[in-house]
Structure 1
């Protein structure tokens, strides 16, 4: 495998991984999830070092694919403020990266797949609708837009808070914390939708990515999926508390091309092994321990099988 530091655009740094530089190969564009994480899946402060996208890139390149991953606004080697970037900015970056891959001399332009993780699945949806890739992959996401996913997460959190034993659960139920919190959330969202700023402050000090919220709120993933003609692959983990996997059942009637989805047992949002119960309230507590675990073997095998079947990569190219 050969890895190269590249400039996709004068402002966008990335990493291109190739099986070698002597032939042309199918390619996968990796689209990262939300927050201030770089091309590898790590934050600048060193608190969240997942290396998820680096590991996925190496795995896919080992199967015979060129892979490209890049830094978002204000992450890695890229300047800017990640909080000021809206969905439109993220989509422009993704489209620029897609064009770069298609024009690269070691890439077969007819065999470029977009692969999004978490928020990246929404970017993958945008590219699948507008740029006709040869395939589209949703890892830990898909079908729902961001606002719907956040709604699911809040409802799951309320359910856990209400189920707490003893006095804590009783207080949560009596105070109807779900009703109170939903009113506060609706008020904040309305404030962001009325604003024309990239960010706004709440309670004088706390910045919120208003443009990001506005544009995600306006984006209809299901409408977009109806225009997707390429094969679509989706994979969730059954221990992922950030998703409602039943929405993947809609894929077959939404997309025009062939779709397949998989729910992997004992896999969490970051595609690693989790045997502990599914819990949104315990995610942070478990996070450091889970990062020491490998990517889920069955999850990787499922990805490999789909890539080989749909792009017809010769398995002998594995390195």
Structure 2
């Protein structure tokens, strides 16, 4: 009953033009959530764009951004994006191609993006105050509502997780009736292992630690991360309780006085409680995992484990794509050390976009 009611409202607004301001033939705003004064509405060649609204259980309104191929009508298969860790906007940058923009153009599908709380037009506390469980819940609620949009075929929605979104993607998809899941830049090891690996690559590739000092340095970092993530102690509490670890927090990558990689400590504590592999194995849909050979953060093993464990359960359900010489952002580099320093990058978007578009269309039942 509620779903039919909400669908009716959406259809009525679309047909009657309620709360819709036409900006041009390709971009419009609907749903009553004001566009922030400093926001430039995106326009992408070949795509119709709609700035809409999804409502969260606690009453917050978040900005939704949907694109579809120009000139299409009726419901289409859709890609629902779960985002990376940094709190920047999901709006396509003006005048610059990205993998997501090219996927939106080439996949022949709707793409659904959600601005997280406090980002862009979205209401609520800033993304830097958002905890992990709330972020996942927001995505889950947004996915349910996005399936009711008249552009979207609710039986053919595929979740796409990018970077940190690779950890949220299976949690968002779980029990949410999706057609498939694709991730890039994140695996299914425990969050503690994930962060230890971050530090391992940092001390090996950054030059911040002498090779002969890597072993004792990692012992300290592992101990600190155990107390911080598993015991759920603040960095100050860890240093107070374990004086031998004082100073370690300042050496760990991405740390601040009140945050880690721009997110509050509670966000990381909640992430460390998740059983990512169990979430993956609860799914019964096609899966694709993309890995860049020169990843600066995530392990090949963590990525590969998703494919291997799913295929052990359901042979052929998961597909692997490894892009040689690619880093976390799928830029190409001559070697792993250059990638870690972001030195001498080359762009080759189609190494990702072409095979991913092909997989998406196949899973969605479009032409190959």
Matched, 1:297 2:297: no
Q: Which residue of 2 aligns with 1:245?
A: 300
Structure 2 residue aligned with 1:286, among 330, 342, 351?
A: 342
Q: Distance in 1 between matches of 2:211 and 2:357?
A: 44
Q: CA RMSD in A?
A: 3.1
Secondary structure of the 1:310 match is: helix
Deviation at 1:50, TM superposition (A): 12
Q: Which residue of 2 aligns with 1:37?
A: 88
Contact 1:147-1:216 within 8 A present in 2 as well: no
Residues 187-206 of structure 1 aligned to structure 2 (within 5 Å): 187-189=227-229, 192-193=232-233, 206=257
Between the aligned partners of 2:222 and 2:168, the Cα distance in structure 1 is: 27
Distance 1:161 1:180, change over 3 A: farther
8 A Cα contact 2:117 2:130, kept in partner:
yes
Whole-Å separation in 2 of the counterparts to 1:62 and 1:36 = 26
| 1:46 aligned residue | none
SS at match of 2:321: strand
Shift of 1:78: 2.4
Alpha-carbon distance in 2 for matches of 1:144, 1:3: 36
Cα deviation per residue 1:124-160 (whole Å; 9 max; x = unaligned)?
1112222130000111113224332211111222334
For residue 119 of structure 2, give the secondary structure of its aligned residue in structure 1.
Answer: coil
Deviation at 1:162, TM superposition (A): 7.9
Distance in 2, matches of 1:308 and 1:173, equals 46
The equivalent residue for 1:14 is: 64
Corresponding position: 1:75 with 2:98:
no
Alignment of 1:204-219 (within 5 A): 206-208=257-259, 209-219=264-274
The 8 Å contact of residues 31 and 94 in structure 1, kept in 2 or not, is answered as: yes
* 1:42-80 deviations in Å (ceiling 9; x for gaps): 8xxxxxx9978x641442343210001121123222242
- Other-structure match for 1:199: none
- Residue 199 (structure 2) pairs with residue 140 (structure 1): no
Q: Secondary structure at the match of 2:174?
A: helix
Which position in structure 1 is the counterpart of 2:318?
259
Does 1:4 pair with 2:77? no
Distance 1:295 1:14, change over 3 A: farther
The ranges of structure 1 where at least 4 consecutive aligned residues each deviate by more than 6 angstroms after the TM superposition are 49-52, 161-164
Q: Which runs of 5+ in 1 are unaligned?
A: 43-48, 196-201
Per-residue CA deviation, residues 147-189 of structure 1 (Å, 9 max, x unaligned), is 322111112223346897xxx444x358x22223333333433
Is the radius of gyration larger for structure 1 or structure 2? 2
**C-alpha distance in 2, partners of 1:182/1:246?**
19
**Count of residue pairs brought into register by the alignment:** 290
Gap change, CA 1:50 and 1:246, over 3 Å in 2: farther
Higher relative contact order (CA 8 A, sep 6+): 1
Question: If the length of structure 1 is used for normalisation, what is the TM-score?
Answer: 0.80
Residues 162, 269 of structure 1: CA spacing in aligned structure 2 closer, same or farther, 3 A cutoff?
closer
State the 1:190 CA deviation. Answer: 5.5
Provide the residue aligned with 1:129 in structure 2: 174
Distance of aligned partners of 1:72 and 1:279 in 2 relative to their CA distance in 1, 3 Å threshold? farther
CA–CA separation in structure 1 for the residues paired with 2:214 and 2:333: 29
2:14 alignment partner in structure 1? none
Deviation track 1:168-214 (CA, whole Å, cap 9, x = no partner) reads 444x358x22223333333433563589xxxxxx89x8103122111
Q: Distance in 2 between matches of 1:12 and 1:136?
A: 23
Relative to structure 1, is the Cα distance of residues 193 and 222 closer, same or farther in structure 2, using a 3 angstrom cutoff?
farther
Other-structure match for 1:26: 77
